Amino acid sequence: MKKCIRSEKGEIFLDTDRDAWLYLAPRGGDAGGAFARGKDLYLHEQEGLPDAYYIHSWSMDPGEEELLQTITLLSAEEFLELRGLVLNVYPEQRGSQVLRSYGYGIAEEF
């Protein structure tokens, strides 16, 4: 799936076939099965433009439309944390890791 978005520095062309995937949701079964819908997380990197994180919402049901939605770095980290994964893009910004070490585990508690 492809989508063009605009930033202050120019146009960004998102493409799920070319961009790096950070998380792919399980797939399988038919349209009514357990893995008939999902959300994947992608990263688009392009020299001279800011990194763009985005979620690809997909469905195996032909009547449902796919959607690409850009998200912030913080939202990308939260998306992965909810699935038990860590996005360690900026190790010097360890705020959520420090809070988790004190027992806080979800973003709403921060």
> How many whole angstroms separate alpha carbon 41 and alpha carbon 16?
10
- Phi, psi (degrees; rounded to nearest 5) at 55: -105, 135
Q: Do residues 2 and 18 share a domain?
A: yes
> How many whole angstroms separate alpha carbon 95 and alpha carbon 93?
6
The string of DSSP codes covering 21-34 is: EEE----BS-TTST
pTM for the whole thing? 0.76
Q: Helix (H, G, I), strand (E, B), or coil: what is residue 106? A: coil
Q: Do residues 57 and 101 share a domain?
A: no
Q: What is the pLDDT, as a whole number, of residue 110?
A: 45
Q: Do residues 41 and 62 share a domain?
A: yes
Q: Do residues 84 and 55 share a domain?
A: no
Q: What is the pLDDT of residues 70-98, one digit of tens each?
A: 999 989 988 988 888 877 765 555 556 66
Q: Do residues 52 and 82 share a domain?
A: no
| Positions in the chain short of pLDDT 70 | 29-34, 89-110
Q: Do residues 10 and 63 share a domain?
A: yes
Q: What is the pLDDT, as a whole number, of residue 101?
A: 67
Q: What is the pLDDT, as a whole number, of residue 70?
A: 96
Q: What is the pLDDT, as a whole number, of residue 7?
A: 82
